[in-house]
Amino acid sequence: MSPYELTFSVPGVPRPQGSKTAIRTGDRARVIEAGTNDSRAAHRAWRDTVTLYARNAAQRAGLAEPWDCPMAVALTFHMPRPKLWPLAKVYADTKPDLDKLTRAVLDSLTDAGVFTDDSRVVWLNVAKVAATGRDGRATGRNGRTGIDVIVCPVGPTQGAAV
């Protein structure tokens, strides 16, 4: 693997990062993820898992500091396949929204110290496909779910010791 590229996969069911809700307590307010307690917990667990895998990939690649330059990111989400979908269906064109799935992963990459901020991403290639088995064939609900991630700088790496 090139020291100027991170490639890794994260198993699990990808979770979206939804809208925010302001909660007011007396004269103070705080912002939390919208949704139910269960959906917030699932989102937090997914973000923590992606952060862990990204941090481990960065360490294996010898990335000592976050990249602080324009970044390219490619993400392929492998979503659970509903039972009624035909096996030939490739793309997961149902909820959750691709942009909300992407937001959760980009924030996790920032938390993991891969790059200084997700605003540094200037090129983004994202796909959402139905889960497949290890041999690449379409399977039922127990197919391979998760995400494949490729991250690399597209300009000089300022402040990154690689």
User: Residue 9's pLDDT is what?
Assistant: 96
Cα–Cα distance for residue pair 13/144, rounded to 1 Å: 9
Single pTM value for the model: 0.83
User: Residue 67's pLDDT is what?
Assistant: 95
29-36, long-range: CB < 8 A, 24+ apart: none
User: Residue 162's pLDDT is what?
Assistant: 44
Positions in the chain whose pLDDT score sits under 50: 1-2, 140-141, 159-162
Say if residues 162 and 156 touch (Cβ distance below 8 Å): no
Cα–Cα distance for residue pair 9/4, rounded to 1 Å: 17
Structure tokens at 60: 């294996």
User: Residue 74's pLDDT is what?
Assistant: 98
For domain 6-153, the question of CATH label 3.40.140.10 is answered with no
**What's the pLDDT tens digit per position in 95-142?**
999 999 999 999 999 999 999 999 999 999 999 999 876 555 555 445
What are the extents of the domains in the chain? 6-153
Cα–Cα distance for residue pair 91/83, rounded to 1 Å: 15
